[in-house]
Amino acid sequence: MALTILTNLASLNTKRHLEESSDKFAQSAERIATGKRINKSGDDAAGLSISTSIEGQVRSIQQARRNAQDALSLLQVAEGGMNDVNNSIVRLRELAMQASSDNVGDAERQSIQFEVEQIKQEIDRLSGSTKYLDNPLLNGKGRNFSFQIGPDNDENNRFEYDSGKLDLSVSTLGLTSVDLSDIDSARESFTTIDESVKKLAEPRAELGALQSRLQSVSSSLSVYEENMTAARSRIIDADIAKETADVVKAQVLQKAGVAILSQTNMTPAMALKLLGD
């Protein structure tokens, strides 16, 4: 290589390699600081596009899981009201059994009948006051609820529950005529009360099946979210061990480059010595 004054090729070459080492150091340092292998489209345009799409899926799955849990909450509210109504009906049968025996007199039967009327009123109150977001659930005046429980726009990703078909009022259950004021009426009430128990059992069983379904949906969505998150991680997450090694390598090259650049910058001065004093 010629010894020149105007152009120092060795210095330019060293400077270029030093800039490359600095860029690699900055890139690895950024990846370590953010934990991401892809921080801008220039790092991996295709990978960034795929990971962004997957992130949208993951967040949709998370919301779908919350929707499923909200739907489960609705069913649990309805189940709670149905359980209280069932307890009231069981109490009615207990009173009917008591009133059907001659170990109580007419005065006691009047007291029993007073409790029966209170139980009927409570059943009507429960059917009207059991609500979800101000929507009645047990009096037949509720609406059809629809919950998005999957990330895609189709019927298989929706859960619907029509609360309007469930009516647990005293008249619907057939308990209006229950009268325990005399022994004959008390004995006849067994059939009526047992029929109301059957009317209540079917929607309770349906509600239990729906709750089991929603719990299964929530569990499967959790697995789905985990797998999609793992897929995104493999694309966008930085390998910290590799990036740490690259940082150390870049630091060594930087130090070497600075040292060599200092030496190459002395080359024109050496050429001047040939000119003498």
d(CA 39, CA 34): 8
pLDDT tens, 148-188?
A: 998 888 888 999 999 999 999 999 999 998 999 888 888 99
| pLDDT value of residue 15 | 86
What is the per-residue DSSP string for 186-225?
HHHHHHHHHHHHHHHHHHHHHHHHHHHHHHHHHHHHHHHH
Q: What is the pTM of this model?
A: 0.78
CA distances from 63 to 59, 74, 216 (A): 6, 17, 16
CA distances from 21 to 41, 67, 73, 180 (A): 21, 50, 58, 95
The whole-chain average pLDDT of the chain stands at 89
| pLDDT value of residue 6 | 73
End-to-end Cα, the chain, rounded Å: 25
Angle at 32 between CA 26 and CA 36, to 5 degrees: 105
Confidence grade of residue 196 (pLDDT, cut at 50, 70, 90):
very high
pLDDT tens, 61-110?
A: 999 999 999 999 999 999 999 999 999 999 999 999 998 888 888 888 88
Bridge-based pairing state of the strands 144-148 and 158-162: antiparallel
| pLDDT value of residue 7 | 75
pLDDT tens, 107-160?
A: 888 899 999 999 999 999 999 999 998 899 999 998 999 999 988 888 889 999
CATH architecture, domain defined by 45-236: Up-down Bundle (1.20)
Residue 233 exposure: Cα atoms within 13 Å on the Cβ side: 8
* Section 221-225 average pLDDT: 94
Place of tokens 């029509």: 162
Does the pLDDT at position 277 exceed 70?
A: no
* Section 18-25 average pLDDT: 88
Q: Percent of the chain scored above 90 by pLDDT?
A: 60
d(CA 120, CA 126): 10
**Domain positions in the chain:** 14-35+239-273, 45-236
Among 35-39, 157-161, 269-273, the least confident range: 269-273
